[in-house]
Amino acid sequence: MQRPHLSERQRRSVRVLSTRWQRRIIFLAGGLTVGAAAVGLAQASDWAQIAFAYALQRWRYASFLITPLGFALSVFLTIRFFPNSQGSGIPQAIAARELEDHEARSGLVSFRIGVGKVLLTVLGLLCGASVGREGPTVQVGASIMFAIGRMSPRRQPGLILAGAAAGVAAAFNTPLAGIVFGIEEMSRAFEVRTSGLIIGTVIAAGLTSLALVGNYSYFGSSATMLGHGTDWLAVPVCGVVGGLAGGLFSRLVIAMARGLPGRLGPLIKRYPIAFAFACGLAVAVCGFLSGDTIYGTGYSQVKHALESGTRLPESFGVLKLAATLLSTTSGIPGGIFSPSLAVGAGLGSNVAHLFPSAPLAAILLLGMVSYFAGVVQAPITAFVIVTEMTDNHAMVVPLMAAALIAYGSSRLVCQEGIYHALAKGFLARAETERERPAGGEQR
């Protein structure tokens, strides 16, 4: 039987159609895989925190041994086996999108780095670090999509963006926040050509998460809202306090990443494992002073405060901020999403003393969105995440206002968003490594 003859135009149409379906399958398969990975990391992280809490119950001073040794081990493994997996992972994903060289990208997002990120994030929580799993899920998601799409180098920036957005959506069960995060923070632009595929990837990751763990709100469901009159003054107060504190945190992290002036900066870079040990010891001190409340993500403390309407300890916000700063600058893998929300809740609990008639849960939400917006300087992502995580739509307007005020306040302290500022460091290192062989040949 003779095959039908296709014209050149028809063959071109078939190739285009085939390429489009191939792209859709890649994005769909990536979304399903990212969703499963996010659920796995979430379960492992919960088990790690339970194990650490059990160790503290058995021996009150266990953190003074486990935490510094765990920090040192984590940094050693990061340097030796999983370079570029330190910290949140979001700056690496941002930098990978901007790089054009395939090999340079693979140094920031790859299957090996994704595996290392999961293992070392769990190790950090196992030893009491004040870190979260959401930022790491972003790098894991970007790594998975990069690995799946290796055969299509031209599509890698879109794949990395989709993986990062799917990671946020699956980690928090917040699909809208994942899309907004991808637009506002990862790309800083709305890309018409890839927007549909990104949304499809987020949906696939979200459906996978729903299938495995069911539908849930991260911090439960809250129907709280502000009353009338003076209660609304809490919006600008929380916005300014949270924004300034978040900006200060970001500025300190960026300064540490770029190297402190004088002898201290080079000394830290020369002895990273010893520095991580010292940071872990300082985190143990913060934990001891807080009554063992500042370890891990801070999720259980904040959820209990929101649901029960009880205040967090007076020192919780400050000590959680210090522990998160130490964990972040130590060089261990781990994110700042959940710890930042916990710090914001602690600061909101302090501000609530000024507004005794206002519902405590409402002030906590304002503190959470304000500090988080101050840290990441992404106000839309901040209020969308908090709204979705608490299933509270009555607070949308005050949360939006507080996030915008916090963003403006944060910019007074820190001119750059933390993720993009840290991404510049990874880009500079990639450029240095790319030029090094050329310099050697010239000599």
**DSSP code per residue over 313-374:** PTTHHHHHHHHHHHHHHTT-B-BSHHHHHHHHHHHHHHHGGG-TTS-HHHHHHHHHHHHHHH
pLDDT of residue 441: 43
SS3 call for 219: coil
How many Å apart are CA 150 and CA 246, to the nearest integer?
37
pLDDT of residue 250: 97
How many Å apart are CA 391 and CA 379, to the nearest integer?
18
CB atoms within 10 A of CB 103: 10
What sign has the CA pseudo-torsion 334, 338, 342, 345?
Answer: positive
Exposure letters 44-53 (e unless 16+ CB within 10 A, then b): bbbebbeebe
pLDDT of residue 64: 97
> In this structure, what are the phi and psi dihedrals at residue 335, rounded to the nearest 5 degrees?
-95, 175
SS3 call for 87: strand
CA 395 distance to own-chain centroid:
23
pLDDT of residue 442: 39
Angle at 184 between CA 360 and CA 296, to 5 degrees: 50
pTM of the model: 0.89
pLDDT of residue 46: 93
Q: Which two tokens stand for residue 32?
A: 């399903």
> In this structure, what are the phi and psi dihedrals at residue 349, rounded to the nearest 5 degrees?
-65, -35
List, in order of start, the domains of the chain with CATH numbers. Answer: 22-213 (1.10.3080.10), 229-425 (1.10.3080.10)
Q: Alpha carbon of 267 to those of 223, 251, 264, 428: distances in Å?
A: 51, 20, 5, 21
pLDDT of residue 443: 34
pLDDT of residue 216: 60
CA atoms within 13 A on the CB side of 414: 28
> In this structure, what are the phi and psi dihedrals at residue 211, rounded to the nearest 5 degrees?
-65, -35
- Please classify residue 61 by burial: count the beta carbons closer than 10 Å to its beta carbon, then call 0-12 exposed, 13-18 middle and 19+ buried: exposed
Question: What dihedral angle (degrees, nearest 10) is formed by the CA atoms of 280, 281, 284, 289?
Answer: -130
The widest CA-to-CA distance across the chain, in whole angstroms, is 86
pLDDT per position as a tens digit, 316-352 = 999 999 999 999 999 999 999 999 999 999 999 999 9
pLDDT of residue 168: 82
pLDDT of residue 342: 96
Check: CB of residue 320 under 8 Å from CB of residue 300: no
Residues of the chain under the 70 pLDDT cut: 1-24, 150-156, 187-197, 213-222, 435-443
- Sequence-distant (6+) residues with CB within 8 A of 428 are none
pLDDT of residue 217: 59
- Sequence-distant (6+) residues with CB within 8 A of 398 are 226, 232, 235, 362, 366
pLDDT of residue 262: 79
What sign has the CA pseudo-torsion 198, 203, 204, 209?
Answer: positive
How many Å apart are CA 95 and CA 230, to the nearest integer?
44
> In this structure, what are the phi and psi dihedrals at residue 311, rounded to the nearest 5 degrees?
-75, 150
Token pair 């009159």 in the structure block, residue: 229
Check: CB of residue 421 under 8 Å from CB of residue 433: no
Point out which residues pair with 335 in neighbouring strands: 132
pLDDT of residue 135: 86
How many Å apart are CA 257 and CA 289, to the nearest integer?
27
